[in-house]
Structure 1
Amino acid sequence: MPPILEVRDLHVHYYTLRGVVRAVDGVSFTLEPGEVLGVAGESGCGKSTLAWALLRLVPPPGRIAKGEIIIDGEDIVGMSEDEVRSRIRWQKISMIFQGAMNALNPVYRVWEQIAEPLIVHRGMTKEQAYNRVIEVLEMVGLGEDVAQRYPHELSGGQKQRVVIAMALALDPPILIADEPTTALDTIIQAQILNLLKDLKHKLGMSIIFISHDLSVIAELADKIAVMYAGKIVEYGPSEQIYNNPQHPYTRALLRAIPRLHGPKEKLAYIPGQPPDLRRPPPGCRFAPRCPQAMPVCHEHEPPYFEVGDNHYAMCWLHRGKSERRTLA
């Protein structure tokens, strides 16, 4: 079965007065039907820009400079905005936005906000749309009473569930969840993660789950892409990434996760700052912060080395293993 989503050599740039910011710089990956891909990395590494690009919603002054985004066999990069809006966005790929309050209009009731794409894209009457709204709200564990409320009348967890319901309204096969548990307490985070697990199993959805927290991604992901400075530096099955990380950046991220078991140790941190993406350093972009950096790391950008079964790391430590220029 072909991938439901294939991204090939994607470049997204922001054209500012102070220079071109290469927020996503040559990213490639595939997403299979029913699969969850976790995208991890520090703030500013390009995770959210990647998500916006997949929906063709990169805000100005940004734009897709190069690459292909193939959804259900069609490259959407070359499509007109009208075609993407009418055929692709929300129908084939939708998104749970980061920060539920920013995604909800405070002056409209919940049902009106969820019903709008049903009326516009599916031609439903208000009554038909309302019935569908109740279905998707029940799907995310909310009752009909929530449909008549305004966003300010809901708790943080309820708002997040409403945003998930909005993303599910048109039955898209691909769902992007951009840090859906940010700013929620631990109990609500667990409820949202369990909800996404249920949706994956019940609906067979393919999910791209974006987070800076690898411990949260571990709950859901089948595969993981670790991003740093606009590039995927390690990519592979989640079990291999967690049990046998092959890039120094991935290892550093994992060492920064608090452990519930084992001896108590001071949490590790990554010294230094991510590079300025207007002027990224030559060679490996993590080299200035890497404790294992060699002279070649500062001079030449590494290719992807195959370090396991469908497991790749962009690191010169693996010289001598088979190489690939991209992951697609």
Structure 2
Amino acid sequence: MPPILEVRNLYVHYYTLRGIVKAVENVSFTLEPGEVLGIAGESGCGKSTLAWSLLRLVPPPGRIVKGSIIIDGQDIVNMSEDEVRARIRWQKISMVFQGAMNALNPMYKVWEQIAEPLIVHRGMTKEQAYRRAVEVLKLVGLGEDIANRYPHELSGGQKQRVVIAMALVLDPPILIADEPTTALDTIIQAQILNLLKQLKNELNMSIIFITHDLSVIAEMADKIAIMYAGQIVEYGPSEEIFNNPQHPYTRALLRAIPRLRGPKEKLHYIPGQPPDLRTPPPGCRFAPRCSEVMPICREQEPPYFQVNEGHFAKCWLHRGKPQKDSIVD
């Protein structure tokens, strides 16, 4: 079965008065039906820009420079905005945006916000759309009473569930969850993660889960892509990434996570700061902060080295292993 989503050599730049910000550079990956892909990295590494580009919603002054985004066999990069709105966005792929409070309109009741795409895309009456909105709210664990409330009458966890319901209302096969547990307490975080796992199992939904916290996706993701400075620097099965990390940046992120089991270790931090993406450094973008840097790292950008089956690392430490220009064949 072909991938439900295939991204090939994607470049997204922001054209600002102070220069061109190369927010996403040569990113490739695939997403299989029913699979969860976790995308992790520091703030500013390009995770959200990548997510917006998959829906063709990159905010100005940003735009997709080149590359392919193939959803269900169709490359949406060259589609017109009208085609994307009518055929792709929310029908084939939808998104739970970061910050539930900002995604909800305080002037409308919950059911009205969930029902709008049903009326616009499916031509439902308000009564039909209301019934469907209530169905989706129940799917995410909320009762019919929530449908007639305004956003300010909901708790943080309820708002997050409403935003997830909004993304599910047209039954898209792909869901992007951009930092869905940010600003929620630990118990609500666990509830939202369990809800997403339940939706994946019940609906066979493919999920792209974006976070800056590797510990959040430890039990969620089938595959993980580690992003740094606009590029994917390591990509592979979840167990491989956690148990056998092959890029210094991934290892540094993992050393910054407290561990409940095993020997107690001092938590580490990554010195320095991410590069200015208007003028990224030559060679490997992580070289100025890397503890294992070599002369070649500052001179030449590394390709992707295959370190195991389906496991790739963009690092010169793996010279001698099979190399590729892209993760996707």
> 1:157–1:184: 8 Å Cα contact kept in structure 2?
yes
Query: How far apart are residue 94 of structure 1 and its match?
Result: 0.0
Aligned residue type for 2:154: L
Residue correspondence of structure 1 range 78-227 to structure 2 within 5 A: 78-227=78-227
Corresponding residue of 2:272 = 272
Query: How far apart are residue 205 of structure 1 and its match?
Result: 0.3
TM-score, L = length of structure 2: 0.99
2:117 partner SS? helix
Deviations 1:87-140 (A, max 9, x none): 000000000000001100000000000000000000011111011001100000
Aligned residue type for 1:97: F
2:11 partner SS? strand
> 1:234–1:312: 8 Å Cα contact kept in structure 2?
yes
1:210 partner SS? strand
2:50 partner SS? helix
1:146 partner SS? helix
Instruction: Find the aligned partners of 2:207 and 2:42 in 1 and give their Cα distance.
Output: 20
2:280 partner SS? coil
1:276 partner SS? coil
Corresponding residue of 1:13 = 13
- Percent identity, please: 83
Aligned residue type for 1:202: E
Residues 1:77 and 2:59 aligned together: no
> 1:193–1:219: 8 Å Cα contact kept in structure 2?
no
Give RMSD over aligned pairs.
0.5
> 1:13–1:22: 8 Å Cα contact kept in structure 2?
yes
Deviations 1:289-319 (A, max 9, x none): 0000000000000000000010000000000
1:137 partner SS? helix
Deviations 1:158-204 (A, max 9, x none): 00000000000000000000000000000000000000000000000
Instruction: Find the aligned partners of 2:230 and 2:188 in 1 and give their Cα distance.
Output: 30
Deviations 1:59-98 (A, max 9, x none): 0000000100000000000000000001000000000000
Corresponding residue of 2:304 = 304
Aligned residue type for 2:105: N
Aligned residue type for 1:103: A
Query: How far apart are residue 219 of structure 1 and its match?
Result: 2.0
Corresponding residue of 2:22 = 22
TM-score, L = length of structure 1: 0.99
2:293 partner SS? coil
Corresponding residue of 2:54 = 54
Instruction: Find the aligned partners of 2:127 and 2:12 in 1 and give their Cα distance.
Output: 41
* Residues paired across the two proteins, number: 328
1:20 partner SS? strand
Structure 1 unpaired stretches of 5+: none
Query: How far apart are residue 265 of structure 1 and its match?
Result: 3.0
Moved over 6 A (4+): none
Instruction: Find the aligned partners of 1:153 and 1:66 in 2 and give their Cα distance.
Output: 44
Aligned residue type for 1:24: V
Instruction: Find the aligned partners of 1:97 and 1:145 in 2 and give their Cα distance.
Output: 24
Aligned residue type for 1:318: H
1:44 partner SS? coil
